C-alpha cells in the first residue's frame, strides 16, 4: 500500500483544522492556509490571499507612466530591478523607443544580479526551513554586496526604482564598476561553498526529494512559469522565447529539472544563478561604449544643470514632470523573466497621461493556486518546504 493511500483511511472525528498563517514564523510573508489535518498529514487546504492587497492596478490608472515604476518595486520585492526594467521596456515599446546597446547591457547586468539575489534568498531560506541555517548566513552577505551595487547605481537597496524610461538614470560610476568587478571575482567561491553544503547533502536530499512535486502537464495547466515550470521539465524562458534587452546577444543555458519536486526547484535555481553569473560576466566584459540613455528629450529627463541654464531643457523637464507626453493609443503586452516566472505588463493606453488599464501578470498569483494540490497527502513540515521552494512573494501575490 502506498503511503498516500493511508490518508483515505481516517475517521471523521480524528480530523482537525489547523490555521497556518496569516502570520506564521515558518511562512515568509503573509499567507493564510486553513488546513484539514489527519494527524500530521494534510488532507486539504484552503489558501486565503489578499492581506497586503494595495490596489496597484487601480493606482496605476491614476498615475503618469514614470510614477508607476515605484509601484512595480513592491511587486516581487526580492528582485525589484527586474520589475522596474520590465515596466520601462513596456512603456518604451508603446512609445517606440530604441535603447542603445550600452543601456541593454547595463540592464542585463542589473537584472541578472537581482535574479541572483532573488534565487539566493529562495534557496538559502529553503535551507533554513529544512534546518540548515549556515548556508543562509554565508550567501546573505553576498546579497548585501549586490544591494550595495544597486545603491551605487540608483541610491536605493530594496525598493530600487532603478533606471528611467529610455535608459538608466546615470552611467556606472567608477565605484560601481569597482564593486561589480569585486563581485565577479568573489562570487563563484561563495556560491561553490554553498553548493558544497547542500547539493549532495544526504539529509537535504532526503528532506526535499519527492516533496511537493508537480508534473509538467499539471504545471502547464496551472499556468506555471519560471523556475517552478522548468523544474517540472519544460524549457520555457522568456529571455529565450521573446528576447528583450539584447538577451539574444548572449550564450546561456536554460536548466531544467525532471520531477518538479522541491529538490529540482532548488537545483534549477542554483544552476540559474551560475547562468546569471555568466551573463553578468559577459555583459560586463563586453559592455559597449556609448550613451546610457536613448536620445528622446521628450521622454528622458534632461540633466539638472541644463534645466537651470537652457530654455529647451526647462520646457522638456516641465513637460515630463507634468506627464505631458505624446502617447499613442494602443495596447502592449510585454513580459520579462522575473525572479519566479513570467512577469507581464498588459498596458492599454487611450492616449492619456496615465494608462487606461494596466494589468500585471504576476507569476506567483497564478501558480500559487496549485499549492493545495501540491501539498495534499504530504506532511505539514513538507508543506512549509514546498512553499519556500516555490518562492511565493506576498507582494507579488496580492499586488
Partner 1 sequence: MTSEHITERVKNQFGDGLVDAFETYGMLTLVIKPEINIEVLKFLKDESDLAFGFLKDECGIHYPFNKDEELGVIYLLHNLRANVQVRVKTFFPSDKPVIRSATSLWAAANWMERETYDFFGIKFEGHPDLRRILNVDDMDYFPMLKQYPLEDGTREDKDDKMFGRG
Question: Is 323 one of the binding residues for partner 1 (CB under 8 A)?
Answer: yes
With 0-12 / 13-18 / 19 or more C-beta atoms within 10 angstroms meaning exposed / middle / buried, residue 346 is middle
* Site track 24-63 with partner 1 (rule: CB under 8 A), x = hit: -------------------------xx--x-x-xxx-xxx
Question: Is 218 one of the binding residues for partner 1 (CB under 8 A)?
Answer: yes
Read off the C-alpha cell for 245: 534587452
* Site track 94-133 with partner 1 (rule: CB under 8 A), x = hit: x---------------------------------------
Question: Is 333 one of the binding residues for partner 1 (CB under 8 A)?
Answer: yes
Question: Is 221 one of the binding residues for partner 1 (CB under 8 A)?
Answer: yes
Read off the C-alpha cell for 12: 471523521
With 0-12 / 13-18 / 19 or more C-beta atoms within 10 angstroms meaning exposed / middle / buried, residue 196 is exposed
- Residue keyed to cell 556560491: 191
Contact 222, 370 (CB under 8 A): yes
Question: Is 354 one of the binding residues for partner 1 (CB under 8 A)?
Answer: yes
CA–CA separation, 328 vs 27, rounded Å? 44
Read off the C-alpha cell for 316: 522638456
Shortest separation between residue 380's beta carbon and partner 1, angstroms:
24
Residue 223 — left, alpha, or beta (φ > 0 → left; ψ -120 to 50 → alpha)?
A: left
Shortest separation between residue 94's beta carbon and partner 1, angstroms:
8
Question: Is 220 one of the binding residues for partner 1 (CB under 8 A)?
Answer: yes
Segment interacting with partner 1, rule: CB under 8 A, options 118-126, 128-136, 187-195, 323-331: 323-331
Question: Is 64 one of the binding residues for partner 1 (CB under 8 A)?
Answer: yes
CA–CA separation, 87 vs 91, rounded Å? 6
CA–CA separation, 354 vs 36, rounded Å? 45
DSSP symbols for 334-396: EEEEETTEEEEEEEEEESSSS-SEEEEE-HHHHHGGGHHHHHTTSBHHHHHHHHHHHT--HHH
Name which of 61 and 306 has its Cβ closer to partner 1.
Answer: 61
Shortest separation between residue 375's beta carbon and partner 1, angstroms:
16
Question: Is 398 one of the binding residues for partner 1 (CB under 8 A)?
Answer: yes
Name which of 82 and 397 has its Cβ closer to partner 1.
Answer: 397
36: β partners: 17, 44
* Site track 239-278 with partner 1 (rule: CB under 8 A), x = hit: --xx------------------------------------
Name which of 22 and 64 has its Cβ closer to partner 1.
Answer: 64
List contacts with partner 1 (CB under 8 A). Answer: 49-50, 53, 55, 57-59, 61-64, 93-94, 218, 220-223, 234, 236, 241-242, 322-323, 330-333, 342, 344, 346, 348, 352-354, 357, 359, 361, 365-366, 368-370, 398-399
Amino acid at each position: 500500500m502506498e503511503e498516500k493511500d493511508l490518508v483515505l483511511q481516517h475517521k471523521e472525528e480524528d480530523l482537525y483544522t489547523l490555521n497556518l498563517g496569516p502570520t506564521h514564523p515558518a511562512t515568509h510573508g503573509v499567507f493564510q492556509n486553513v488546513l484539514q489535518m489527519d494527524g500530521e498529514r494534510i488532507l486539504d487546504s484552503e489558501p486565503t490571499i489578499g492581506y497586503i492587497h494595495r490596489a496597484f492596478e487601480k493606482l496605476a490608472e491614476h498615475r503618469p507612466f514614470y510614477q508607476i515604476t515605484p509601484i512595480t518595486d513592491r511587486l516581487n520585492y526580492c528582485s525589484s530591478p527586474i520589475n522596474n526594467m520590465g515596466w520601462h521596456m513596456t512603456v518604451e515599446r508603446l512609445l517606440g523607443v530604441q535603447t542603445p546597446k550600452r543601456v541593454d547591457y547595463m540592464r542585463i547586468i542589473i537584472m541578472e544580479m537581482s535574479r541572483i539575489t532573488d534565487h539566493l534568498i529562495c534557496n538559502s531560506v529553503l535551507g533554513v526551513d529544512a534546518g540548515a541555517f549556515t548556508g543562509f548566513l554565508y550567501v546573505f552577505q553576498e546579497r548585501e554586496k549586490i544591494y550595495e551595487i544597486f545603491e551605487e547605481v540608483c541610491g536605493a537597496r530594496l525598493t530600487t526604482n532603478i533606471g528611467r524610461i529610455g535608459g538608466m538614470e546615470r552611467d556606472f560610476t567608477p565605484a560601481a564598476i569597482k564593486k561589480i568587478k569585486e563581485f565577479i571575482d568573489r562570487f563563484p567561491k561563495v556560491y561553490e561553498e554553498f553548493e558544497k553544503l547542500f547539493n549532495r547533502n544526504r539529509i537535504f536530499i532526503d528532506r526535499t526529494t519527492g516533496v511537493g512535486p508537480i508534473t509538467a502537464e499539471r504545471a502547464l495547466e496551472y499556468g506555471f512559469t519560471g523556475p517552478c515550470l522548468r523544474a517540472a521539465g519544460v524549457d520555457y524562458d522568456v529571455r529565450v522565447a521573446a528576447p528583450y534587452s539584447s538577451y539574444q546577444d548572449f550564450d546561456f543555458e536554460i536548466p531544467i529539472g525532471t520531477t518538479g519536486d522541491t529538490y529540482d526547484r532548488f537545483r534549477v535555481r542554483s544552476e540559474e544563478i551560475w547562468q546569471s553569473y555568466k551573463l553578468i560576466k559577459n555583459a560586463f566584459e563586453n559592455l559597449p561604449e556609448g550613451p546610457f540613455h536613448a536620445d528622446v528629450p521628450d521622454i528622458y529627463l534632461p540633466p539638472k544643470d541644463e534645466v537651470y541654464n537652457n530654455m529647451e531643457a526647462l520646457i522638456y523637464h516641465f513637460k515630463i514632470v507634468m506627464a505631458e507626453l505624446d502617447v499613442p493609443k494602443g495596447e502592449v503586452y510585454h513580459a520579462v523573466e522575473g525572479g519566479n516566472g513570467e512577469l507581464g505588463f498588459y498596458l492599454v493606453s487611450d492616449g492619456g497621461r496615465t494608462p487606461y488599464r494596466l494589468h500585471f501578470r504576476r507569476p506567483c498569483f497564478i501558480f500559487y493556486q496549485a499549492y493545495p494540490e501540491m501539498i495534499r497527502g504530504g506532511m505539514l513540515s513538507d508543506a512549509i518546504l514546498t512553499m519556500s521552494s516555490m518562492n511565493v512573494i506576498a507582494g507579488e501575490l496580492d499586488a
